Structure 1
Amino acid sequence: MSFHEVRFPVSVSFGSTGGPERRTEIVTLASGHEERNSPWAHSRRRFDAGLGMRSRDDLEGVIGFFEARAGRLHGFRWRDWSDWRSAPSAQDIEAFDQDIGVGDGVSAAFQLSKTYLSGPASYVRPIEKPVAGTLRLGVGGVQIFEGFALDAATGIVSFDVPPQDGAVISAGFEFDVPVRFDTDLIETSLGAFEAGEIPSIPIVEVRV
């Protein structure tokens, strides 16, 4: 899949709508009970970028971005303003926000991830598009500043020397969502735009 490591204009994504989508298959039995199953291990996010446009400049910027991505052909980065940090919105990002693995003395590469907790249930989301320059890393409860590298295109952290056995690897970071346009057509008119009619520009998360 072709992916461009460029972010959709944040001034427009800030006013957009959207969020995570799950796919659940439900079979209702003769007794009235249900059997539920999900073929997706991970949620998929959808957004509408049209709702974030407030001016002709926004419209022109989005059209230019759309043309440069050739419509649905190339993926790109998207800032989901409801969920883009390893820490809660009221807290600073720290090296101990998210546990991403445990050292075994052999493994030197670890995937960034974010864990969502609610009661006894949890969901671990792989983070594959971290924002370069925002990573804070901890090993065994101590923040480290060297001896590792981050691939911002995959979200994989590689250590020069494998962390020792039993050492908890933790991280703090900002991240984007890998997405593409879910349409090959942006239909609008400047007259309608000035009157407050905003085009719908669907965005959908992609697997990378």
Structure 2
Amino acid sequence: MAIEAFSEERFPLRVSFGTSGGPERRTEIVRLSTGYEHRNQRHRHSARRYDAGSGVRSLADLAAVLTFFEARRGKLTGFRFRDPLDWRSSQYGQAATAFDQMIGTGDGVTTVFPLLKVYGTGDAAYSRPIEKPVPGTVRIAVDGTELAAGADFNVDTVNGAVTLALAPAAGLSITAGFEFDVPVRFDMDQLAVNVAAFEAGDIPSIPLIEVRP
């Protein structure tokens, strides 16, 4: 039986909101004889790690995770996951608007722009690719004027690409607002469940790791 490498199904939402975890960087540090350090990052983008065990609050939650785990065949199939802290293009606690993130500048030819989210400002800012926008949440504006979804633009929610009906003129800004999920997979092939231990307060570890679908 053929199994897709990635499923667009989302991990149980009520569990994800209680999950712990966040971005991880891989930094190599070489300490020189002079006392100075040479630091280098191995990857351009961070990878997020989570432990969904901390989001399991009941046996019903545990049963939902078990069903989801079996359907994904353990590590085999990736899936969508909502980061409990970082799931909108806007600042924390604010609703997404069409003006949250600058995703491109018009040149009169280009019509396809990938979604991204910028952290920080200036030269130190980090641009994170957003590959899993939530369907129906993406808003786009060109030069400060919001466009109509379907008529003026379409969104590929599988890879995060926005296609405009007309190429913006040179110099015009293209901005976006959206909700998004993180593409992850289980980082284990065994879900060890002990119901008696769970009822006594021992929550199982359910590690998840971000993937590039």
Normalised to the residue count of structure 1, the TM-score between the two structures is 0.97
1:142 aligns with 2:133: no
- Residues matched between the structures, number: 208
The 5 Å alignment of 1:152-191 reads 152-191=157-196
CA RMSD of aligned residues (A): 1.2
Superposition deviation, residue 119 in structure 1: 6.8
One-letter amino acid of the structure 2 residue matched with residue 141 of structure 1: G
Gap regions ≥5 residues in structure 2: none
Superposition deviation, residue 30 in structure 1: 1.1
One-letter amino acid of the structure 1 residue matched with residue 126 of structure 2: Y
Aligned to 2:35: 32
Aligned to 1:133: 136
Q: In the aligned structure 1, how far is the partner of 2:157 from the partner of 2:122?
A: 32
Aligned to 1:194: 199
Aligned to 2:83: 80
One-letter amino acid of the structure 2 residue matched with residue 159 of structure 1: L
Aligned to 1:22: 25
Indicate the larger mover: 81-90 or 168-177: 81-90
| Contact in 1 for aligned 2:19/2:84 (Cα 8 Å) | no
Identity of aligned residues (%): 56
Q: Secondary structure at the match of 1:81?
A: coil
Indicate the larger mover: 43-52 or 84-93: 84-93
Superposition deviation, residue 92 in structure 1: 2.1
Aligned to 2:65: 62
Q: 1:44 aligns with which of 34, 47, 57?
A: 47
Normalised to the residue count of structure 2, the TM-score between the two structures is 0.95
Superposition deviation, residue 89 in structure 1: 2.7
Superposition deviation, residue 77 in structure 1: 0.2
Q: Secondary structure at the match of 1:73?
A: coil
Gap regions ≥5 residues in structure 1: none
Superposition deviation, residue 120 in structure 1: 5.3
Deviations 1:23-53 (A, max 9, x none): 0001111111110001110000000011111
One-letter amino acid of the structure 1 residue matched with residue 26 of structure 2: R
Q: In the aligned structure 1, how far is the partner of 2:96 from the partner of 2:122?
A: 24
1:106 aligns with 2:99: no
Q: Secondary structure at the match of 1:185?
A: coil
Superposition deviation, residue 121 in structure 1: 1.7
